[in-house]
Structure 1
Amino acid sequence: MKVAIIGLGFRLGYLGVVFKDIDPDFEIVGYVDPAPAGMARLTEAGISAGKAYDTPEELIASEKFDLLMIGSPNHLHLEHIRIGLEAGLKVFTEKPIVISIEESHALASLLNTHGHDRLLVGLVLRYSPLYRDLREAQARGLLGDVVSIEASEHIAPYHGAFFMRDWRRYASYTGGFMLEKCCHDLDLYNGVVGQRPRFVASFGGRKSFVPENAPEQAGVNDLEVYHRKPSGWLGADKVFDSDGDIIDYQTAIVEYEGGASMTFHTNLNVPDEFRRFCVIGAKGMAEGDFVRGYLDVHDAHTREKRIGNRYQAPSTKSQHYGADEQMAADVLAHMQTGAALPVSALDAIEAGILALAMDEARQSRKVVDLAPVWAHFDACLHGGAAAPHAKSA
């Protein structure tokens, strides 16, 4: 498979290696990126990134390829997706798919014009063995109707510090931390519930990565941990006095259209990190953790453990608990045979809208009712509304 890349950052540099490991014929024919942070990983693996181009239009006009891969900063996704779709290409974009409600509606209109199946999205956790086993248990009826979910995504201090130093510290480029980092998780639980979120409340802010908590204040001189993960575009050294506007902790409450509810918590300064969930249904309960690698399912009536799975990443270099390898294999199969994928662009937009609603609720200190958003989204998706003018959040 031949691909072209817009935005050769750390993520697509890594995925280039994963795709090449699975498909020896995988080839990058060219890229657009003024400062390709992912180039070093490709070079180390002996993989060519092809020819550098100044603009997406020049790349598309000059090369022949099967898939356009987008890894540019989030605020550029909509424009790059539009360019690819209007050129008649199959497009893969990294998450989050777009960064505002207005852009979500604009993308819905684009999909109405060009077709949903032309756009793939890198919501990689849908491909993880743990999540697939969770959905299989649900399909077997072990959970029954989903009643409530408790879920979290917590990251270690070195990773939180990365967000404070990278371009991702600015909500104008990312759409906010909840969208940038947690859209994976929100998509998973939207999928489990099988309904759209309706009402959202949320609280949070920044209390860990603030000047009074700087290690120097406690006489700690070893700051390596906070710079362990390299930053890319607009990178900075400041961590506890970052000029970013993102949160470092947030809690949200969600009610879905059918009445099921979810609490979701994220924190960027967790020394023993975890990414866990508890899905409680009328007939059973599923509890798991992507980081700690387990899935337990219990019967509500007998309390019997029906499933007790343990998971391990395929290698120490593997990211996302082995899900990247499965995603690469599935995307290759999709391109070659049309095989179905477990996540769609529509799933990605819906997860993004939920994340954005969480931030709206946090900032306004009000419960957000998403009914008007979904009504306009559906009108755009089915051609019943004029294409909105997208603007960044």
Structure 2
Amino acid sequence: MKVAIIGLGFRLGYLGRVFKEIDPTFEIVGYVDPAPAGMATLDEHGISPGKAYETPEALIAGEAFDLLMIGSPNHLHLDHIRTGLEAGLTVFTEKPIVTSIEESYALASLLNTYGHDRLLVGLVLRYSPLYRDLRKAQEEGRLGNVVSIEASEHIQPYHGAFFMRDWRRYGRYAGGFMLEKCCHDLDLYNGVVGARPRFVASFGGRKSFVPENAPEASGVNDLNVYHRKPSGWQGSDKVFDSDGDIIDFQTAIVEYENGVSMTFHTNLNVPDEFRRFCVIGSKGMAEGDFVRGFMDVHDARTNEKVIANTYKAPSALSQHYGADEQMAEDVIAFVQTGAKQPVSAIDALEAGILALAMDEARLGRKVVDLKSVWEKFDACLHGASDTSSRVRSA
């Protein structure tokens, strides 16, 4: 499989290695990136990045390939996706797919014009063995009707410090932390609920990565932990005095169109990190953790633990609990045979809209009603004649 890359950052450098492991014929024919942070990973593993081009248009005109992969900063995604779709290409984009509600409408219109299946998205957790087992338990009826969900994504201080130093610290580039980092998780639970979010409330801010908590303020000079993960474009050395507008903790409450409720919590300064969920249904409960590698399912009538799964990363290669390798296999299968994917661009847009609503609610200290957003989104996605709300099938 031949690919071209717009935005050869750390993530696509890593995915280049994963795709090459899965498909020995994988080849990068060219890329566009003035400062390709992912080049070192490709070099380390003997993978050629192909020819460097100045613009996406020159890359598309200069090379023949099967898939255009986009890993540019989030605020550039829409233009790069549009360029690929207008050129008649199949496009893979890293998450989050766009950075605003208005961009969500614009991309929905593009999908209406060029086809809903022309755009793949790297919401990698949909491919994880744990999530697939959760959905299987749900399909087998072990949970009954989903009633409520408690979920979280927490990251260690070194990772939180990366966000304080990277271009992702600016909302104008990333769209906010909930969108940039947690859209994975929001997509998973949207899928479990099977309906769109309707009402959203949220609170949060920055209380850990602030000047008074800097290690040197207490006489500690070893800052290695806070610079362990390298930053790329727009990188900075400032952690506790970051000039970004990013939060370091946030909680949200969501009510879906079918009445299911969810609480979601994220924090960037958790020494013993976890990424867990508890899905409670009318017939049972599923509790799991992607980081700690387990999923238990209990029957509500007997209290019996009917599933007790544990998970380990299949290799040192995996960054997402075995999901990266499966995503590579599935994307390659789609390009070669049109095989169905477990996540769509529409799923990604819906998760993104929820994340953006969480920030709107947090900033405005209000409950956000998404009814009018979904009406306009559907008008863009399916044509102006269809403004009905859609219940998800995935």
1:383 equivalent in structure 2: 383
What is the SS of the residue equivalent to 1:75?
A: helix
Task: Name the residue aligned to 1:258.
Answer: 258
Q: Give ranges in structure 2 of 5+ residues lacking alignment.
A: 386-394
What is the CA distance between 1:336 and its match in structure 2? 1.0
Once the two structures are TM-superposed, the CA of residue 80 in structure 1 deviates from its matched residue by 0.2
CA offset digits 1:27-60 (Å, max 9, x no partner):
0000000000000000000000000000000000
CA distance in 2, matches of 1:63, 1:383: 34
- Provide runs of 4+ in structure 1 moved above 3 Å: none
Aligned partner of 1:58 in structure 2 is: 58
Partner amino acid, structure 2, of 1:304 = E
User: What corresponds to 1:130 in structure 2?
Assistant: 130
**Counterpart residue number, 2:334:** 334
**Contact kept in structure 1, 2:208 and 2:269, CA below 8 Å:** yes
1:317 Cα offset (Å):
3.3
Aligned residues: 386
- For 1:198, the equivalent position in structure 2 comes to 198
For 2:98, give the aligned amino acid.
V
Q: TM-score, normalised by structure 2?
A: 0.97
Gapped runs of 5+ residues in structure 1? 386-393
CA deviations 1:173-228 (Å, max 9, x no partner) are: 00000000000000000000000000000000000000000001111111000000
Give RMSD over aligned pairs. 0.9
Rounded Cα–Cα distance in structure 2 between residues aligned with 1:157 and 1:18: 27
Map 1:1-393 onto structure 2 (within 5 A). 1-384=1-384
Give the distance between the partners of 2:30 and 2:215, measured in 1 at CA: 43
CA distance in 2, matches of 1:275, 1:219: 32
Identity %: 84
Deviations 1:284-330 (A, max 9, x none): 00000000000000000001111000000012232011100000011
Taking the aligned partners of 1:130 and 1:222, their CA distance within structure 2 comes to 37
Check the 8 A contact 2:29/2:51 in 1, yes or no.
yes
Look up the equivalent residue of 2:21 and give its one-letter code. Answer: D
- 1:113-161 CA-to-partner distances (Å, cap 9, x unmatched) read 0000000000000000000000000000000110000000000000000
Q: Distance between the aligned counterparts of 1:148 and 1:276, measured in 2?
A: 14
After TM superposition, the structure 1 stretch with the greater mean CA deviation from structure 2, 314-323 or 215-224, is: 314-323
Amino acid of the structure 1 residue aligned with 2:180: E
Tell me the SS of whatever aligns to 2:322.
helix
Q: Distance in 2 between matches of 1:147 and 1:185?
A: 18
User: What CA deviation, in whole Å up to 9, does each residue of 1:233-268 have, x standing for no partner?
Assistant: 000000000000000000000000010000000000
How far the C-alpha of 1:335 sits from its partner, in A, is: 1.0
Q: In structure 1, what is the Cα distance between the partners aligned to 2:167 and 2:161?
A: 12
Which residue identity does 1:105 align to in structure 2? Y
Distance 2:2 2:316 in 1: 27
Q: CA contact under 8 A between 2:153 and 2:275: conserved in structure 1?
A: yes
AA partner of residue 243 (structure 1): D
Q: Which residue of 1 aligns with 2:392?
A: none
CA distance in 1: counterparts of 2:285 and 2:314, whole angstroms = 27
Determine the C-alpha separation between the residues in 1 that align with 2:22 and 2:381: 35
- Alpha-carbon deviation of 1:337? 1.2
Per-residue Cα deviation, 1:344-367 (whole angstroms, up to 9, x for no partner): 000000000000000000000000
Letter in 2 for 1:30: G
**Which residue type is aligned with residue 49 of structure 1?**
P
- Whole-Å separation in 1 of the counterparts to 2:226 and 2:141: 45
2:391 alignment partner in structure 1: none
User: What TM-score, normalized to structure 1?
Assistant: 0.98
CA distance in 1, matches of 2:178, 2:152: 11
Distance 1:191 1:317 in 2: 27
